[in-house]
Structures are given as structure tokens and as C-alpha cells.
Amino acid sequence: MERSRRPRYSLTVSDPRVLIVVPTLGRRVEELQQSVESIRSQTTRADVIIVAPKGPEADRIASDAGALWIEDPGSQSAAINAGIRAALPRHEYVGWLNDDDLLEPGSLERTVGALEAHRDAVLAYVRIKSERNFVGRSPSMDIVISGDESISRENHASITFDPRTHSFTLNTGNGRGLVYLNQNVVDAPSTLNSYDLIELGETKLLFVPFAGDQFSWNK
């Protein structure tokens, strides 16, 4: 999730500060419904924009959920960007969720809380999965950081979640760019702790884990 920067279009649902964009091809109807419901059931309210090709199912789901439907411009990245461009000035926080992904209960509350507590942060990334997550600019990466050309396209770094020990580790990648943890160069696997500062290129990330002793993901 990131702070909204370029609101352009209009939205006609409720008045929260959070906007979630859901790109979809409209083929996984049941999964799309569950994805939208996981957003609607959050303790922190959020507007929803569904970006999909023309078709009755996506339009019906959007209507039933009180969401806005936008026609898919042709690719996942273009669909996400189209949804983000539709943000209103009141949408201070904008994120996106795949049509087959679910938000854990309370995840928006924790994410917005972390950003509120650290007003200098511009991004909160909540899509870390169990085991290894590769970081880079490419859409094929597990953690995608776009807009910073000083970050390697692929495998600038990786973040690992060990499901056995419920611990996180930061690793350097195979590119030329350096990785910093709390202003120190990472040249070996380093344990991540709450509120550690990660620096990649010109990007600074604050690490706030949602998993730990009390909660973990299945693979």
C-alpha cells in the first residue's frame, strides 16, 4: 500500500481514506467475490475498484459490493495503474489485491496504523509470503518496487520467512546494487526485527511484521 499522489477520476461509494484496486480477467468469479469480501470485512473501511474486461459477472460483483468498475486496459500493470489513477483526493492510502488473494482480518488496520505512525514512509508492502520472496522492479518479482531505477529489475534482494521458526531474514541479491539494514550494508543473511529500516537504491522501507509467534501463513 502506498500514499496516493495523482487523484483524477470520481468514485461514488462511502468516504474512507483507503482505496483497494482489484485487477481481474473476470474468469474466477467465486475467487473475485471472496477477494472483495475480504476487503469489505476489514475493520478499516476501504473503497474498492474492480478493473476487468467487459462482462456481466465483474460488473455484477462490483455493483453488489458497492464498488466501481473500470474496463481493463489490457495488462495487469496497466489495470492496476488505471485503478490507482481513479483515486480521489481523500484516498490517502492506495493498494491493490489480486482477484485470487485474500486480506487477513485486521490487515488494513495494521498497515494504515504503521503508515500513520511513520509519516515519512510512502509505502507499506504486505504481500510477503512464506519462504523466499525476491525483490526488484520487474512484475515477475514477489515484491515489486516500481519507480526507482536504482533498484535492480530482478533479485536486488530477498526476504525470507521461515515457517518453522516464524522468523524473517534479509538477503542481498545477485545484482550490483547494495542492500542496507539499519544503515549497514548487508553482505550475509541478516535477521529482520520489527521497525528495522531497509534501504534499496533510493527507497527506504520500514519492516513491520504481521506474522510471528501468534500468526503464520500456510504455504
- 72: pLDDT strictly greater than 80: no
16 and 92 inside one domain:
yes
Same domain, 9 and 113: yes
Cβ 192 vs Cβ 206: under 8 Å: no
- 58/137 same-domain check: no
Distance CA 140, CA 114 (A): 27
In a domain, 219, yes or no: no
Could you tell me if 23 and 112 lie in one domain?
yes
* Residue 154 CA, distance from chain mean position: 18
Q: Does some domain include residue 203?
A: yes
Distance CA 157, CA 175 (A): 8
Which has the higher per-residue pLDDT, 147 or 167? Answer: 167
* Residues 113, 139 within the same domain: no
**Between these two residues, 160 and 13, which has the higher pLDDT value?**
160
Structural domain contains residue 217? no
Is residue 184 included in any domain, yes or no? yes
CATH number at residue 69: 3.90.550.10
Q: Is residue 122 part of a domain?
A: no
Classify residue 123: in a domain, yes or no. no
Q: What does the DSSP assignment read for 41-57?
A: TSSS--EEEEEE-S-HH
Bridge partners (DSSP) of residue 156 are none
Q: In this predicted model, what pLDDT tens digit does every residue of 189-217 receive, in sequence order?
A: 999 998 889 999 998 888 877 655 555 55
CATH code for the domain of 179: 2.60.200.20
Q: What is the mean pLDDT of the chain?
A: 81
CB atoms within 10 A of CB 104: 14
Residue 187, all three cell numbers? 553482505
Q: Are 103 and 143 part of one and the same domain?
A: no
Count structural domains, the chain: 2
When pLDDT is averaged across residues 175-193 and rounded to a whole number, the result is 93
Determine the Cα–Cα distance for residues 152 and 135; give it in Å rounded to an integer: 9
Question: pLDDT tens digits for 74-117?
Answer: 777 788 888 888 888 888 888 888 888 888 888 888 888 878 87
Which grid coordinates belong to 54? 467487459
Question: What is the separation, in whole angstroms, between the first and last Cα of the chain?
Answer: 22
Judge whether residue 13 has pLDDT over 60.
no
Claim to verify: residue 103 and residue 166 sit in the same structural domain: no
Of 58, 90, 117, the one marking the end of a domain is 117
The answer to whether residues 190 and 102 belong to one domain is no
Which range marks the domain in which residue 144 is found?
131-207
What is the C-alpha to C-alpha distance for residues 68 and 62, in angstroms, rounded to an integer? 6
Question: Which has the higher per-residue pLDDT, 102 or 123?
Answer: 102
